[in-house]
Amino acid sequence: MAEQQLKSARNLKIFCLLLLLLLVVLTGRLAWLQIIDGKLWSDRAREQLQETRSLQTPRGSIYDRNGKELAISHMAKSLYANPREVQDADALAKKLAPLLQLPEATLRDRLKVKGAFIWLKRTLEPAEYTRVFEFIAKEKVRGLDFLEESRRVYPNDQLAAHILGFVGTDDKGLTGIEMGMDTTIKGQTHKQILDTDSKGTPIFQSIFAFTKPKPGHSIHLTIDSAIQFAVEQALDHSLARTKAQAATMIVMNPKTGEILAMASRPAYNPNAFYRYSEQIWRNRAISGIYEPGSTFKSLVAAAAIHEKVVTAKEIFNDTGAIDVGGRVIKNWDGGSYGKMPFSDIIKYSINTGFAEVAQRMGGERMLKYSEAFGFGKPTGVELPGEEDGLLLSLKAMQPSDVATMGIGQAVAVTPLQLLTAVSALANEGKLLKPHIIKEIRDGDGLLVSYSAPQLVRQVVAPDVAQEMVGLMEKVLTEGGGKRANVEGYRFAGKTGTAERLRDNGAGYDPGRYIASFVGFGPLEDIQLAGLVVIDSPRGLYYGGEIAAPVFAEAMTQIVRIMGLRPSQDIKAFQPPKPVAPKPAPPKPVQAAPPAQPAVMPPGKFATPDVRGKTIREAAAILQKAGLYLIPEGSGVAVRQNPPANAPVAKSAEITVYFEPR
Amino acid sequence: MPEQTKSARAKVGARLWASPLEGLGFVTILLFLIGSINVFSSSFVMGSQLLGDNLYFLKRHFVAAMIGLAGMAFIIRQGYSWFLKRITIWSLITLVLLIAVFFIGVEANGARRWLSIGGITTFQPSELAKLVAVLAAAAYIGPRLDRRSVSLFSYPLLIAAALAALVTIQPDMGTGMIILGMCLVPYLVAGIPLREWALLIIGGGIGVVWLIFHAAYRAERILAWFNPDSYSQTSGYQPLQSLLAIGSGGMKGTGLGMGASKFYYLPEAHTDFAFAVWAQETGFVGSLIVLLLIGALLCYGVRIALDSTDGRGRSVAVGMLFLIVGQAIGNVAMVLSLLPVTGVPMPFFSYGGSALIVNIWSMGLLFSVAVESARRGKKASQPAQAEPLRRSRLRLSERLAQHGR
């Protein structure tokens, strides 16, 4: 009995020791795993836990100078799958295929991919998204979800298409601003290392890492979409009239170098850029080189007057032809004009006179001034694909080349180069660098950079430039550019007609011409300079007949858009007698009526100024004036479009931009 | 006299508590608290994401603990003998419950293991079967411990075999094996004839081999046990994830709640593999504390068993002790890939209401053994005179205790 009990006590102790031994073994194993191999296991665990994801932030928007959207990235839903969570890939693929309009096999393959993330379809249409969303909710599908992705949209279709360019796959800008500023506005691809659970859902701190990234920098152009529209419309009308092959027009502010509009024809829609040929994508305003012809004469004249090789009053004797070292230069109409001062040589664009002036200047000075006016190298505008143009070297220059340069041949320029150079005449001889980007703002709307007018050089003396303005005004009032007249405003300019260079640059294309007109105004305070270039019109081809009316049509619109004061001294245009210029009547102060601008086109009246007003106040003011308010933003009005005092018709919509203050 | 005080003081200094009973109680409370923390930490992800309540599992854990504690109070009040005497009733009840499971059990994951209680919650009778099998063995061995040798060929093993068979067809072979194994341990400690040892080893060996090769998945599990990386996507996935969890814990762990494995990497993170979550979040330090607590529980339990002068008490103590410590060692060994994956839960750590209730009751039975010996020791030490007298009085009081109440 006692023996049995002892035996059981002994067994019990053995049992206890055995279990304690096992516990020691377990401790040893734990120490091995956690202390000796701990680093190894934790690296493996980390590897399993972490997932690298790339996130695309939306591409920055492009706005015009008034904040109107020209290119936006709207967020679209993209469908992705987490194949680890997908339960029945085959059945799911079958059901999804009709909803997404994708082949079933493609979907099946994607749903079976190893990993926790695969795109099924990018940037769904809203209707598609709704269908798939409802399907997921109804069938309680697991492993499918959406991510927001940016999709480039050009809300105005073809408007300013050549400036904006477009974006290809992978968020890469292919032409225009989209290409030139690609790195600035590109949505960033953020690589995120996340801790996730086994289904790929972020855990721990990674939950907070999944915040929506800010969009890229936005670009605010110097372009005014209203002006751009007027320009494009004028070009379209012209193309319809002349059946020209191509056309381009640029409008800039010669005092600042800001490009207000820049259009090329034929046009394309950047929302569907792939439907057009590469030739149509080209921005002719900066890449289409041509012989400027007579428009170049204005620069030759300025240089010659500046160099004092000629004065406006010097009398020339035009015989109708001049031999310039083996080549005879004739006037455009083949006729002879006899004796006349140099001012008339300019007015009537007499070739012989300019050939002589050029010969007096000599090749060296001609080249020096050409370079000083910016020819032969890109202007440096913020657009890709700008051409140099062609400027002969002094060595290669024949005596005839010097003379033909005087009439704008033997030199090839881009439209922007020419307009920039002529703008210098409108800006007291100061050549400014043209620019198309007004400012760049970051994702929060804060200013990153701002383009101020940039002086390149003083090309001719201010008084010379001033004299040229006067001489060029005569082209419009008395000379070959009458059809460029903007009713009610004083403009100056120069027509041009040139034989068209072959596309390969070798010689001329017989029977094809380039008609152009360059001009600026209003002369009281020059705000606008414009160049129209029409390539290969059918029928009439003289600049004064083909290009000048386009200039007139566009500028007539533009002066109204900008609310510029018509010139007082032109009687033809003063229908409603201005009320405001009268000294302010001693009326009670509180009843001050909205300030009337001097003169308004018929049927139009001045846009009231609502800047500084709240939305409520602005709405009341505009309603009183019979206008409609389109508010943007909130707070206090900072800008309005059309601007204050600009002529508007009744019932027009006034977009007012409010900012919190 | 001064020497006596000195030694008494030394004794107090060496022990944190006066008796194995107090020590056991303290260790049990610690294990329960740590286990509860881990139940929350390993289940809140699943609870919040699948059930919308991150406290879902912890709440149920505490409700089960309450039921367990109520049972424990009853067990200590009645004493283990009361339960041993009614072993037939318990066996029958358990058999009926297991048969009921076979017919009206709730099915989940292809197995019927649970009985629905009014549609509110479920109960897993196989957990109760573990306890009953051990209790039956103790009831048989107890009276024989002092007199004649025990034999394997006795009714408790029959009961255990019946329970194990019913559990195995659920199917839950792991638990079936545990039921049989639990029943055997008191026999082995009591001492069985050499002949039966040989029989047990041979029979067990054949049984294990047959079971392994009877089902392909078991063989694969064994292979995966030796080489988890080769089976990382199939049978080896769970052991590998468990090793990743434990190993990545390192010395100090990732911090409570900060382990990543419970985010659906480690299957059964809140039940069978709960200890891996603890090891990941508290590191070697935390794991060692738990192993030390289990070691302490073992030592106090063995002390209680040795202190028990009653053969039945000793058998009950050994059985209950092994029910807790044996499962703990088995579970940790499984989690550490020292054993193939079998469904051995970690007492107090693995979430599971039925198991928790049964574990608390088991501890209750162990306590009752200690309480009984303490009561007897007091009675015996008060007169503290002649040895024979004490013996006879003991017997008498025992008889009185058995019949009188």
CA–CA separation, B284 vs A57, rounded Å?
44
Q: Determine contact, residues A344/A338, Cβ cutoff 8 Å.
A: no
Nearest to A40 among B190, B247, B302 (CB): B247
Closest listed residue to residue A560, CA positions, set A522, A506, A534, A504: A522
10 Å CB burial of residue B3 (0-12, 13-18, 19+) is exposed
Q: Is the pLDDT of residue A569 over 80?
A: no
Nearest to A26 among B191, B263, B332 (CB): B332
CA–CA separation, B23 vs B15, rounded Å?
9
Buried-state track A229-260, b at ≥16 Cβ within 10 A, e below 16:
bbbbebbbebbebbebbbbbbbbbbbbbbbbb
Query: For residue A14, what is the nearest residue in chain B, using CA coordinates?
Result: B189
Q: Which residues on chain B are in Cβ contact (under 8 Å) with A23?
A: 291, 294-295, 298, 329
Residue A579 has a pLDDT of 44
Give mean pLDDT, residues B71-80: 94
User: Which helix (H) or strand (E) covers residue A13, if one does?
Assistant: helix A2-31
Nearest to B298 among A8, A20, A42 (CB): A20
Percentage above 90 pLDDT, chain B:
45
Residue A603 has a pLDDT of 64
Residue A221 has a pLDDT of 92
Residue A130 has a pLDDT of 87
- Quick check: B318 and A7 CB within 8 A? no
Residue B15 has a pLDDT of 54
- Quick check: A41 and B247 CB within 8 A? yes
Residue B17 has a pLDDT of 67
The more confidently predicted of residues A176 and A73 is: A176
Closest listed residue to residue A353, CA positions, set A402, A407, A405: A407
Residue A504 has a pLDDT of 67
Query: For residue B298, what is the nearest residue in chain A, using CA coordinates?
Result: A16
Residue A598 has a pLDDT of 42
Nearest to B336 among A20, A33, A199 (CB): A33
pLDDT in tens, A140-157: 788 888 877 777 889 888
Q: Is the pLDDT of residue A590 over 70?
A: no
Give mean pLDDT, residues A114-138: 84
Q: How far is A42 from chain B (nearest CA, A)?
A: 4
- Quick check: B260 and A197 CB within 8 A? yes
Q: Is the pLDDT of residue B360 over 90?
A: yes
Nearest to B338 among A19, A29, A203 (CB): A29
CA–CA separation, A21 vs B309, rounded Å?
26
Structural Rg of chain B based on CA atoms: 22
Q: Determine contact, residues B80/B365, Cβ cutoff 8 Å.
A: yes
Q: What is the mean pLDDT of chain A?
A: 83
Q: Determine contact, residues A77/A147, Cβ cutoff 8 Å.
A: yes
The more confidently predicted of residues A337 and B356 is: B356
Among A586-590, A636-640, B353-357, whose mean pLDDT is lowest?
A: A586-590
Architecture in CATH for domain A589-659? 2-Layer Sandwich (3.30)
Yes or no: domain A52-221 corresponds to CATH 3.30.390.50: no
Q: Where are chain A's structural domains?
A: 52-221, 225-562, 589-659
Q: Which residues on chain A are in Cβ contact (under 8 Å) with B391?
A: none
Q: Which residues on chain A are in Cβ contact (under 8 Å) with B260?
A: 45, 49, 195, 197, 203-204
Report residue A205's pLDDT band, with 50, 70 and 90 as the boundaries: low
Measure Cα distances from B91 to B97, B117, B163 in Å.
10, 20, 9
Which residues 191-210 in chain B show a CB within 8 A of chain A? 191
> Left (φ > 0), alpha (ψ -120 to 50) or beta: where does A173 sit?
beta
Strands laid side by side in the A628-633 sheet = A628-633, A653-659, A636-641
Query: For residue A31, what is the nearest residue in chain B, using CA coordinates?
Result: B284
| Highest mean pLDDT (candidates A345-359, A377-391, B240-254, B345-359) | B345-359
Q: What topology is assigned to A225-562 in CATH?
A: Beta-lactamase (3.40.710)
Q: Is the pLDDT of residue A597 over 60?
A: no
Q: How far is B93 from chain A (nearest CA, A)?
A: 31
pLDDT in tens, B142-184: 888 766 678 888 899 999 999 999 998 888 888 898 899 889 9
Q: Is the pLDDT of residue A2 over 60?
A: no
pLDDT in tens, B114-124: 888 877 888 99
Q: Which residues on chain A are in Cβ contact (under 8 Å) with B289?
A: none
Residue B238 has a pLDDT of 85
CA–CA separation, A598 vs A583, rounded Å?
13
Domains A52-221 and A589-659 share a fold: no
pLDDT in tens, B99-112: 999 888 888 877 88
Report residue A320's pLDDT band, with 50, 70 and 90 as the boundaries: confident
* Cβ-based neighbour number of residue A208 at 10 Å: 8
Instruction: Tell me, rounded to whole angstroms, the distance of Cα B28 from its chain centroid.
Output: 12
DSSP B115: E
pLDDT in tens, A278-314: 888 989 999 888 999 889 999 999 999 999 999 988 8
Q: Which residues on chain B are in Cβ contact (under 8 Å) with A4?
A: 145-149, 191
pLDDT in tens, B27-52: 999 999 999 999 999 999 888 888 88
CA–CA separation, B66 vs A551, rounded Å?
94
